[in-house]
Structure 1
Amino acid sequence: MESKKMRMSDEQLIAKDIDIPIELLRDEILARLPVKTQLQIRCVCKLWCSVIDSQDFRLNPNIRKTPHLIYIHSENNGLTSDQCIVTLRNVDTFEIINHLCKMYGSYEFYGTCNGLMLMSQKLFGDKSILRVWNPSIQKSLLLPSCPLNSEPQHRLTYMLGYPSSDGDNNFKVAAFKCHPGSSLLGGSYVSIAIYSSRGHRWSSVIKRNDVLFPPSLTDRVFYQGAWYWITKTNLVSFDFNLEDFIFQELPVEVMQGEVTRFIFLLCEKLAILSVSSKCFCVWVMDKDRRKMPSWRPWLSRDTTHEALDKICDLQYIHSRIFYNERDSDTFIFQDTKKVFSYKFSTQQKQILRSPYESEVILDAYAESLVLHKGTDGQILTSYPSHDKTVVAWPTLEDHW
C-alpha cells in the first residue's frame, strides 16, 4: 500500500513539473504516437508508463488511430505456400507504409479487429493452431483448442470481435461449424462456441437450426461490436455482446432491382454499395436515439455499359471494397486475384495489384497496444521472431 502511494505521488509530481493536464497528455500527445514509439517512451517516467499501460489508454473511444490496409500475399502459389509477406499500406494511395514481416507456413486469415488479427496455422495432417496476433507490436496469443472439431466434411470458420459494451481488453472469438442435412428434421444446423480472453477459455457449444452459416471474410464487415453481412432481403449480424444473430429487414429501395451489393464502412458508418444497370448508389445506415436503424442515400451516379463492364465480374466472386477518405468518389475493390481503385465520377479504373500474382488478403487495420500485456493466465509470445527472415515453427506442445 505504501509503495502504491509513493508511486502515485511521483506521478503527481511529474505531472505538476510538466504542467500538462493528464487528459491532454494522454489523448492529444501520447495517443498520437505510433505504437512502437509508445512502447519505447514507457521508460521515460512512471507517469507515462502508467498511462500507456492503462486500459483507458488502449481502448479510449476518443483515440482514433489512422486507418490503414493490411495486405498479405505469398511469393509462390497462393496462401497455402510456405511464405506470406505482410505489409501495411495507405488506404488512399495503396503505397507501402511499413514492411511488417514474413511468415513461413500455411495460414488462413479470418479478419482484423481493434489492431488484432485472427488466423490459423496448419501444422501437419488435420492439426492446426488458432492464433490472435497484433502485427504492429509482433505479439500473439495461442488460443486453447476449439471444442468444435474440424472434420473435412463440415465447414468451420471463425470471427474475432470486441463487445461494444465492454470497457476493457476483453475480446472474443466465435467459432461456427456447419452440419449439413444432419438435424432430426433433415435440415442443416450450425454449432457455435465462443472464446473469451477474460478467462482464456471456450464456452459450451450451442446448436442453432434457424440460422445460415456465416459468409467468408470478403463478404462481411465489423462495426460497433458485431460482424455484418447482407442476404437477399436482410442485414444479418453476429453481435458479440449478445453472442447471437440479429436479423434486420432492409428497405425496399436499398434492395430493389437486379444489383450487385457490397457492404463496407464509410466514415465509421455502415454502408451498402448497390451496382445495377442503371446506377451506382451508396446507402448509409444511421441510428436514432433508440438505436433504431434507418438508411439514406449518400452517393448516386448513373451507370454506363462501359462503367458496368469494369466491375461487373465482381458479382460472380467474393469481393470487398474500401472507402478512400481523401477522395469521396473513389473506392478500392479487392477480390482473390486483383486489387483496383475505381472513381465513379470519371469512371477511371486503376489496377493497384497485378491480377496474375498469387491470392491476397486485404483488410482494414489500425494500430493498437492490445496484447502488449497478458492477463488471466494468458501467455504472450513474440510472433514472428524479431529476426523477420526466420520464424520458428510452433509445435503441438505450444498449443496444448
Structure 2
Amino acid sequence: MHTESPYVPLELLASQILSRLPVGSLLRFRCVCKAWRDTIDGDESFHREHLHFQKTSLLLAPQVRHYMNVYWGRSITGLYRWEPWSQDAVTRVPDMAGDDHTLRAGEATHDLAHCDGLVLLPSEATLRVLNPATRGILRLPWSHGIKVPFGGLNHLPSHQAFGLGQDTRSKAYKVARFFYRSIYKLARGYQYTLEMEIFTIGTDQQWRDVKKPPPYPIKPARTATFCKGSLYWTVETLLLCDRTSMPGFVRFNLEDESFSVVPAPNWFNSLKSFAVPRLAELQGQLCIAHSRHTIMSIEIWMCSSLDDNTPPWDRRFVIPMFNLHVSPKAIFDDKIVCHLGTDSLLRYNFRTGERVVLDMRKMYDPKHGNRDNGYVAGTIYENIPSAVYAFDVIPYVPSLVNV
C-alpha cells in the first residue's frame, strides 16, 4: 500500500532544521530546489535566525614583516579558525579568488573587524569586506580619504581608522572610515581637521560624508569596536592640548550617524598614551582590560548601560598575572579568552582559576599537520615562509550574510 510522505512547509523546515546546520552544508543544499536556494541565498530573516544558532570562535591572522625601502611593512598571509574547545588545532580558511583574504606587503597596518560573519580587511589604500564561510568578497570603492593629510602624519602610524557594524533599525551593515584631512604641529599642540565617511553595504555606490566631524581626534590604525548598534574608537590624546584629562571614547551611532562621547573608567586617566588598552565587545557589553603591575593582575572591566550619562563600569574578572598588552576576545561558558602579547592566547577559567597560555605560532591544521613524539609538523609558523612576528585575533561567527 502506497502512502504519501507528509508535507513539511518550507517555513517550518527552515526554522527547525536548516537554521541549525553549518554554512557549508547549506551551500551544498542550494541545489535541492529553487525554494531552498532562494531561502539560503537571499532570505534575510532566515540569515538572522541561522546566525542565532551559530557558535562563536576566533579568527587568527598571522602577520609577517617585510622590509620595504626605509621602513617595515606588514602582510597577512591567511586566516585560521580556532574553536574554544581546541588546544592547538586550527582550521585554515580556504583561499579566495585573487587572494583577497590576505593583505600584501605594506597593507596590513590596521586591525581586522568582525560583525555577524563579515570580516573587514582594512589597509591604507584598499578596503575589503569578506564572508569567509560563503567566500563572498566586496571591494569598497576608492575614497579621497586615502590621501596623506596636509601637514604630514606628524609621527602618527597612519591617518585613518575604520569600523564595521550593523544599523539596528535598517539591519544594514555599514563601514566607517575616519581620517585626518590635515595635521599641523604648532608651538603648543596641534591643529587638525577631522572627517568621517560611511559606506552602506548593498546600498551605496560610493562613500558618503558624515554631516558633523568627530568631537575628538581618533587613534589612527586602531579599528573600532562594534557594540549595540554603535562603533567605539579610542581618542588620540597625543594631539590634545590638555593631556591630563582623558575624554573617554568616541561613539558613532550607525542608525542616525551621529557622534557622542562615552566616559571611560576612573583609572583610565592615569594611563600613558602608549599603554592605552583596546576596547572589546563581550556578550553585548563594552569591555576593556586594565593591567596593574602593582598587584601583578589583569582586571577586566565591563559596561552594560552605554546610554547613561555616567555609564557604570564594573570590574568583572581579575586574572592573577601581568601582561601590559592584553585584549579580551570572547567568553565561552566559564572561560574568557584574551589575546596576550603578540602571539599568544590566554584561556582563563574564572570559576576554577585555571590558566592556559597557547602559542599561536605552534597551532596547526590537522588536515595538513601531524604529531610525532610531541613534535607538531605543519604548524602556522612552519607553513609561512617568512617569520611570523604577530597575530591579529577577532571573534568570528560563520554566517550566510551577503556582501
Please give the TM-score of this superposition, normalised by the length of structure 2: 0.69
Q: Which amino acid aligns with 2:59?
A: I
Task: Work out whether 1:196 is the aligned partner of 2:185.
Answer: no
Query: Superposed, which structure 2 residues align to 1:256-267 within 5 Å?
Result: 262-267=278-283
Task: Work out whether 1:370 is the aligned partner of 2:401.
Answer: yes
**Residues in 2 aligned to 1:291 and 1:20: alpha-carbon distance in whole angstroms:** 45
C-alpha offsets along residues 26-48 of structure 1, whole Å, 9 cap, x if unaligned?
A: 33321221212112212223432
Query: Superposed, which structure 2 residues align to 1:72-151 within 5 Å?
Result: 72-74=61-63, 77=66, 80=73, 84-93=77-86, 95-102=88-95, 103=99, 105-106=104-105, 107-108=107-108, 110-120=112-122, 128-151=125-148
Cα–Cα, structure 1 residues 21 and 296, in superposed 2: closer, same or farther, change >3 Å? farther
1:54 equivalent among 20, 43, 47: 43
**Residues in 2 aligned to 1:74 and 1:247: alpha-carbon distance in whole angstroms:** 33
Q: Which amino acid aligns with 1:297?
A: D
Q: How many residues align?
A: 334
CA shift, 1:359, in A, is 2.7
1:27 equivalent among 5, 10, 15: 15
CA shift, 1:364, in A, is 1.1
Partner of 2:184: 181
**Residues in 2 aligned to 1:302 and 1:322: alpha-carbon distance in whole angstroms:** 15
2:338 equivalent among 332, 336, 357: 332
Task: Work out whether 1:321 is the aligned partner of 2:328.
Answer: yes
Cα–Cα, structure 1 residues 236 and 92, in superposed 2: closer, same or farther, change >3 Å? farther
Cα–Cα, structure 1 residues 46 and 27, in superposed 2: closer, same or farther, change >3 Å? same
Q: Which amino acid aligns with 2:36?
A: W
1:38 equivalent among 6, 26, 30: 26
**Residues in 1 aligned to 2:45 and 2:278: alpha-carbon distance in whole angstroms:** 34
Partner of 1:228: helix, strand, or coil? strand
C-alpha offsets along residues 182-219 of structure 1, whole Å, 9 cap, x if unaligned?
A: 89x9621211121122132221465637321245446x
Q: Which amino acid aligns with 1:274?
A: H
Answer whether contact 2:216 2:250 (CA < 8 A) is retained. no
**Residues in 1 aligned to 2:141 and 2:303: alpha-carbon distance in whole angstroms:** 37
Answer whether contact 1:119 1:132 (CA < 8 A) is retained. yes
Answer whether contact 2:130 2:136 (CA < 8 A) is retained. yes
Q: Which amino acid aligns with 1:350?
A: V
Answer whether contact 1:188 1:209 (CA < 8 A) is retained. no
| Aligned-residue RMSD, C-alpha | 3.8
**Residues in 1 aligned to 2:311 and 2:60: alpha-carbon distance in whole angstroms:** 33
Partner of 1:283: 301
CA shift, 1:131, in A, is 1.8
Answer whether contact 1:65 1:367 (CA < 8 A) is retained. yes
Cα–Cα, structure 1 residues 250 and 86, in superposed 2: closer, same or farther, change >3 Å? closer
Partner of 2:261: 247
Q: Which amino acid aligns with 2:400?
A: L
Q: Which amino acid aligns with 2:312?
A: W
Gaps of at least 5 residues in structure 2 are 154-158, 236-245, 363-386
**Residues in 2 aligned to 1:115 and 1:300: alpha-carbon distance in whole angstroms:** 28
C-alpha offsets along residues 152-195 of structure 1, whole Å, 9 cap, x if unaligned?
A: 7351232222112113xx32221111121389x96212111211
**Residues in 2 aligned to 1:65 and 1:201: alpha-carbon distance in whole angstroms:** 32
Please give the TM-score of this superposition, normalised by the length of structure 1: 0.69
C-alpha offsets along residues 292-348 of structure 1, whole Å, 9 cap, x if unaligned?
A: 775363634485xxx33xx1x32xxxx5222341433x432244x322315366474
